[in-house]
Homo-oligomer: A and B are copies of this chain.
Amino acid sequence: MPAAATVLTDRGRATRDRIVAAAATLIHERGVAGTSLDDVRAVTATSKSQLYHYFTDKSALVRAVIELQVDQVLTAQQPELGGATSMAGLRRWRDRLIALNEQDARGCPLGRLASELTDSDPAARAALTAGFARWQGRLATGLETMRGDGALGPGADPQALALGLLAAVQGGLLLAQATGSVAPLRTALDLALDSVEARTVPLAATRTPAGVDG
């Protein structure tokens, strides 16, 4: 019986993951309001009792979707996000984001969720806020490294700069989505990166070779 239970657990996890992945795709295409639990059941060929076994209600499924999207969005930016510990590293991260969104112009799944979820579902909003905080935290870590290295001046605020960069990403993607061109993302990121560069110490780490700062 323990072996069977373990098999069931693995199968259970696989089923749960399959449901969350399918729900993420539907929600990214149709929005939360446009996606019913019946839609998710139809796509995943699961029964009502199976679905409710894993998720007590739609909000629980939406939270699982948000957690998956946060992981996927952050993973897609690696290794550049982790390597954004210099101006050159930040520019590689910018290039990575532009390349990702040239392939898929549907915008950031987190940004789309943020637009839709605010008032309706406090638990989902908290999950989304935590996701944005993780993203901001990764950027702030790189900027703190830059300040520690002396590349950023002591007056630079890594958390504020990280929040400003994240806002540039989200606003740039939103306008990219509206216009069908990645150009607004590039312009928004370049403007925000100029502000970071304005806080660098002259003759500092902005000109180190690419391999040194990773």
Whether B107 and A118, one on each chain, are in contact in the complex, defined by CB atoms closer than 8 angstroms, is yes
Main secondary structure on chain A at its contact with chain B? helix
* A75 sits at the interface (CB 8 A): no
Given A166-B171, A195-B192, A198-B195, check contact A29 B119 (CB 8 Å). Answer: yes
Instruction: Please name 27 pairs of A and B residues whose Cβ atoms are closer than 8 Å in the assembled complex, sorted by A.
Output: A31-B116, A106-B118, A111-B115, A111-B174, A114-B178, A115-B115, A118-B180, A125-B180, A129-B180, A132-B178, A132-B179, A161-B191, A163-B187, A164-B190, A165-B191, A166-B171, A166-B184, A167-B168, A167-B171, A167-B172, A167-B174, A167-B188, A168-B168, A168-B191, A170-B171, A171-B171, A171-B172
**How many chain-A residues does the 8 Å CB contact rule pick out?**
47
* A160 sits at the interface (CB 8 A): yes
Whether B132 and A160, one on each chain, are in contact in the complex, defined by CB atoms closer than 8 angstroms, is no
Interface residues in chain A, defined as those with a beta carbon under 8 Å from any beta carbon in chain B? 29-31, 33-34, 106-107, 111-112, 114-116, 118-119, 125, 128-129, 132, 160-161, 163-172, 174-175, 177-180, 183-185, 187-188, 190-192, 194-195, 198
Whether A30 and B33, one on each chain, are in contact in the complex, defined by CB atoms closer than 8 angstroms, is yes
Residue of B nearest to A34 (CB): B33
Contacts of A168 in B (CB 8 A): 164, 167-168, 171, 188, 191-192
Contacts of A128 in B (CB 8 A): 178
Complex Cα distance, B125 from A67, in Å, reads 29
Contacts of A118 in B (CB 8 A): 106-107, 177-178, 180
